[in-house]
Amino acid sequence: MSKLYVVPTPIGNLEDITLRALRVLKEADFILAEDTRTTGKLLKHYEISNQLMSFHIHNEHKTVERVVDQIKAAGSAAIVSDAGTPSISDPGFLLIRECIANDIEVICLPGPSAIIPAIVGCGFPCDSFVFEGFLPHKKGRQTMWKTIAEEQKSVVLYESPHRLIKALKEMTEFLAEDRQICVAREISKIHETFHRGTAVELLEYFEKNPPKGEIVIVISAQKKRK
């Protein structure tokens, strides 16, 4: 049976990759990469030579059927994103679904994801939480905030640095004043930081200290009303 391996790659520190992932990247017949240049640097670091094919958000709808045929013909392929686990706010879902429909075995390797270190490191209860990915840029954004305002579990969001201030301002509008927030920045990298506080406190800090790098936001659960 043909196989598709879903391979997580480091989100920062290149040492955050498993021995199994390295073996699969060596042995797969070809690798599907979100950005071949980024993946090429990873492969070069670990002295892996393998065929790279571009598979990203801009071409996955057009190429997914062809890629499935190539996997069937070759026997195996690995899919990677630039960082973290494919299909988690990255390309991958469409191909995984199509492979399942075509009786291609999908094998998901465990590995790096920014979600888990963020929720564990924030200090909020993490026995259960809600992951919402990136907030909608326009349509549905207010609806999402209203939902988060009532959520009685911790909420995890991805955000870009140039939209963090906007998100924090919206939190001051939609969330309870005592709701605790954690902004995790550059997880697994040299300049990793965790900033914790209320939306007002964090807004004041980041307005004075413009953020850079990859950001994960964790919002504490809304307290149950008596």
* pLDDT, tens digit (0-9, with 9 covering 90-100), for 142-177: 999 999 999 999 999 999 999 999 999 999 999 999
Residue with tokens 């991805």: 158
Token pair belonging to 19: 């021995």
Token pair belonging to 214: 């990859």
| pLDDT confidence of residue 225 | 66
Q: Could you please report the per-residue DSSP string of 51-72?
A: -EEE--TTTHHHHHHHHHHHHH
* Right CATH for 115-219 from 1.10.10.1100, 3.40.50.300, 1.10.760.10, 3.30.950.10: 3.30.950.10
Domain boundaries, given as residue ranges, for the chain:
3-108, 115-219
Do the strands 154-159 and 129-134 form a parallel or antiparallel pair, or are they unpaired? parallel
Do the strands 52-54 and 31-33 form a parallel or antiparallel pair, or are they unpaired? parallel
Asked whether the predicted pLDDT for residue 183 surpasses 80, the reply is yes
User: Which amino acid does the sequence have at 128?
Assistant: S
Q: pTM, whole model, 2 decimals?
A: 0.89
| Topology given in CATH for the domain delimited by 3-108 | Cobalt-precorrin-4 Transmethylase; domain 1 (3.40.1010)
Asked whether the predicted pLDDT for residue 207 surpasses 80, the reply is yes
- 155 to 11, 124, 135, 171: CA distances (angstroms): 20, 10, 12, 12
**What's the pLDDT tens digit per position in 99-131?**
999 999 999 999 999 999 999 999 998 889 999
Q: How confident is the model at residue 226 (pLDDT cuts 50, 70, 90)?
A: low
Spatial CA neighbour of 4 closest among 114, 113, 102, 83:
102
Report the distance separating Cα 135 and Cα 117, nearest Å: 20
Identify whether the C-beta of residue 114 lies closer than 8 Å to the C-beta of residue 8. no
